[in-house]
Structure 1
Amino acid sequence: MTHTPRHTGTHDSRALAARLLREAGTTYADEAGISMANKPMPLFELVTLALLLSTRISATIAVRAATELIHTGLRTAASVHAANRGTVIEALGRAHYRRYDESTATRLHAAAERTLEVYGGDLRRLESRCDNDTGVAAALLEEFDGIGPVGAAIFMREVQDVWPWARPYLDDRARTAARALGLPSDPTALAGLTDTRAFAPMAAALVRVSLDDNLRGRLLDWVD
């Protein structure tokens, strides 16, 4: 069935935003078991997740791979840098992240090395370098091998509630999904439709809508 984006009134938009959050508002960090906080370990875990999600592989497998790495104890730049390469590849394999396991293991080690050498193992120093500018932050993230514009956008979507200066943040994919649902694509306007200061769940929900035709169809049918 083809759905035409529709404009909704403020009341309808609030109801749709609430339903969207209920049905799809789990961040990828939450799904991977990352307890987001502005601390070195979760920030590095989020870089790992962004790198895994940047590969041409399903989000489900990428998130599962991040979970496996966490369960293996590969949670900090120091632990990944010191890890046996085989340990990393085995963790990726358990998540069925096999096609890119070798190259990803190399990139994870390089990400750990860069985090240690450039940021002293603490990515809060990356935040301090960007002067509250999401564009600068994204550019610094893209200096990690394997993280391009998509991966940088993933990181910024997921980190925004612990880096409040970046909130509300939507990347192009999330904005397009918002327009398809008839919701505001302006982050500030969309944030005004929710009853919580947290905005990462909304950004994640919109990305999930962009990837799931059935979910998008259900939401549009409910609006209609």
Structure 2
Amino acid sequence: MPRKDLNDMSIRIKKVANEFGNSPLGKSPLAKQPLVATPSTILAMVMDAMIKSKPISHDISQKTMNHLIEAGYHDIDKLHKSTWEERTEVLREGGYNRYREQSATNLGNLAQFVMDKYDGDLNNLLKRAHGRREKTRPLIKEIKGIGELAVELFFDNVQSVWPSIAPFVDSRSLQTAEEVGIGANMQAVYSALDQDPKQMSWFVNGLSSVRLEKKQFAIEST
């Protein structure tokens, strides 16, 4: 690729990351906490993917996620001890009405799954996968309520604390990257971001914001 094209691509990448990007869980009550691979951080990212993968407005899904965090459900013990009725009420408060009952069940199943199979810590899942993305994917999909889109959303965020997952961009954001002239070569993007997995996650979240806010022209015209 000619140097001018590389420079243009790099400028667009930095604009997406810096102007539209956000850290994983950055719009939740966990935003001010250090971004490290604690059991609660990984569990929160799984819940985030589970909630946001349903065809429901982004605002409602984010509000619902915030309520789940405020209820302390990113703590595996608290989620495990919660009742179906309690989880249903938290989801109702978030406005998550269409998928409320099924999601309350899925959250209960999630807690039981993590306790039984991974000793309460999903970091053990990554260890079982030997840190390899292609082996991590089917293990994550064993969680009820986690389909293909949810796996992609989870990888978008978890690469920030599980660097072996990086570089990763979900299919919808990959299409946005092509629309704004960045292209689909995510290794090139990763290099432009100094192979920083946290920056990669900010970039992907930036692409999502560009798509949701219909700001493609702001990047294309850079």
TM-score (norm 1): 0.88
Counterpart in the other structure of 2:6: 10
- The structural deviation recorded for 1:114 is 0.3
Where do 1:31-180 residues align within 5 Å?
31-34=27-30, 35=33, 36-180=35-179
Equivalent AA in structure 1 for residue 128 of structure 2? R
Equivalent AA in structure 2 for residue 165 of structure 1? S
CA distance in 2, matches of 1:165, 1:74: 26
Moved more, 173-182 or 194-203: 194-203
Deviation per CA, 1:39-75, whole angstroms, max 9, x where unpaired?
A: 1111111111111112221222112111111111222
Moved more, 201-210 or 38-47: 201-210
CA distance in 1, matches of 2:100, 2:66: 15
**Residues 29 and 70 in structure 2, CA contact (< 8 A), matched pair in contact too:** no
**Residues 24 and 201 in structure 2, CA contact (< 8 A), matched pair in contact too:** no
Deviation per CA, 1:9-36, whole angstroms, max 9, x where unpaired?
A: 1222222122212231014521123343
List alignment gaps of at least 5 residues for structure 2: none
Q: Secondary structure at the match of 1:29?
A: coil
Counterpart in the other structure of 2:203: 202
CA distance in 2, matches of 1:27, 1:155: 13
Deviation per CA, 1:73-96, whole angstroms, max 9, x where unpaired?
A: 222222112112222122212211
Change beyond 3 A, Cα 1:119–1:110: same
List alignment gaps of at least 5 residues for structure 1: 1-7
Moved more, 165-174 or 117-126: 165-174
Equivalent AA in structure 2 for residue 218 of structure 1? A
- Computed over aligned residues only, the root mean square deviation of the Cα atoms, in angstroms, reads 1.7
Moved more, 132-141 or 202-211: 202-211
Change beyond 3 A, Cα 1:185–1:33: farther
CA distance in 2, matches of 1:165, 1:196: 11
**Residues 40 and 122 in structure 1, CA contact (< 8 A), matched pair in contact too:** yes
CA distance in 2, matches of 1:148, 1:53: 11
**Residues 140 and 146 in structure 2, CA contact (< 8 A), matched pair in contact too:** yes
Equivalent AA in structure 1 for residue 218 of structure 2? R
Change beyond 3 A, Cα 1:33–1:186: farther
- The structural deviation recorded for 1:192 is 2.1
Q: Secondary structure at the match of 2:26?
A: helix
Q: How many residues align?
A: 214
Equivalent AA in structure 2 for residue 177 of structure 1? T
**Residues 77 and 113 in structure 1, CA contact (< 8 A), matched pair in contact too:** no
Q: Secondary structure at the match of 2:160?
A: coil
**Residues 28 and 63 in structure 1, CA contact (< 8 A), matched pair in contact too:** no
Counterpart in the other structure of 1:218: 218
TM-score (norm 2): 0.89
Moved more, 181-190 or 142-151: 181-190
- The structural deviation recorded for 1:113 is 0.6
Moved more, 141-150 or 61-70: 61-70
CA distance in 1, matches of 2:71, 2:212: 29
Structure 1 segments, 4+ long, off by >4 Å, are none
